[in-house]
Amino acid sequence: MNNSLILSSYTSPQETSISAPARITLLYIIVGGLWILLSDQIVSLFVDDIAYLSFIQTLKGWFFILWTAGLLYTLIQRDFSMIHDSKQALESSYDATLEGWVQALDLRDKETNGHTQRVTKMTLRLASEMGLNETEMEHIRRGAMLHDIGKMGVPDNILFKPDELSDEEWTVMRKHPEYAHDFLSQIAHLSSAMDIPYSHHERWDGTGYPCGLKGEKIPLAARIFSVVDVWDALRSDRPYRKAWPEKKVLNYIQAGSGSQFDPQVVDL
């Protein structure tokens, strides 16, 4: 799906809000002018008593205030609904694009088919247990879906090599978080989902990559995901090994608590 096409067809809230105030103001002027001109003439036809006329004028003023307030509320509420619907449509378009990218990655690497869906669900479950809010959960969902997007920049002869990688090949492989950063940083809508694709290979003890972040300097989303990613990888068959038993994987992750993994996440 073409992101530029999506964006070109979307009317931003700023663009919508420019025309809406002008439209509402013009309507208010027209209605107000007609009310002033016509209501006074109508009242004068039926009311002669000066004291009663003063009361009617006051009542008329309050009626105008209440009626126009209701009209303005209706118009503003309608415009806000239009803005909300436009934003929802854009969110849906972006999510459809993400799904397409995930499918492309799965098609490229059939050995990890279904991996993205599994780790996304598990990461969201752990994030929920840690009390993250709805907005943070949405960023995590997108980040988990795109965690391996940087591998699109890794040559096939390295990514799918059945043997052990050389030092030079590992250098290339370890660049995939940087590729993800370079790619996603160009998309404002996804910049908040960067933590997992860029930092999920960092280690709690600071020996990870690409930045060698240590402890809580590693984004929480990446700390959660790194545990899930290793769990799913070890529990899945690979060309060079069979899937590990659950108990063996659990022991491995617990042994890595405080070195590879955040102890708080492991304890969940």
Q: Tell me, what's the pLDDT at 19?
A: 65
DSSP state of 259: T
User: What's the confidence (pLDDT) of residue 141?
Assistant: 93
Per-residue pLDDT of the chain (268 residues; tens, 9 = 90+): 444 444 344 444 444 445 666 777 777 778 777 777 777 677 667 766 666 767 777 777 788 778 778 877 887 788 788 877 777 777 777 777 777 777 777 776 666 668 888 999 999 999 999 999 999 999 999 999 999 889 888 998 888 887 888 999 999 999 999 999 998 888 877 888 999 999 999 999 999 999 999 999 999 999 999 999 999 999 987 766 788 999 999 999 999 999 999 999 999 8
- Does the residue 7 lie in any domain? no
Helix H, strand E, coil C: the string for 102-146 is HHHHHHHCHHHCCHHHHHHHHHHHHHHHCCCCHHHHHHHHHHHHC
Handedness of CA 226, 227, 232, 233 (dihedral sign): positive
Q: What are phi and psi of 134, to 5 degrees?
A: -65, -40
Strand partners, 184: none
Name beta bridge partners: 31: none
Query: Domain boundary residue among 57, 90, 123?
Result: 90
What pLDDT score was predicted for residue 9?
43
pLDDT of the residue at 49: 66
Q: Are residues 59 and 187 in the same domain?
A: no
Into how many domains does the chain fold?
A: 2
Domain hosting 83: range is 12-90
What pLDDT score was predicted for residue 115?
86
Residue 49 included in any domain: yes
Cα end-to-end span (Å), the chain: 38
Task: Give the per-residue pLDDT at 184.
Answer: 87
Whole-model pTM: value is: 0.66
Do 68 and 181 belong to one domain? no
Q: Which of 90, 116, 111, 252 is nearest to 196 (CA)?
A: 116
d(CA 157, CA 143): 26
Residues 49 and 171 in one domain: no
Same domain flag for 120 and 76: no
Is 262 part of a structural domain of the chain?
Answer: yes
> Do 38 and 128 reside in the same domain of the chain?
no
Query: Are both 140 and 174 inside the same structural domain?
Result: yes
Q: Are 199 and 172 within one domain?
A: yes
Q: What pLDDT shows up at residue 114? A: 80
Cα separation of 254 and 125, whole Å?
A: 19
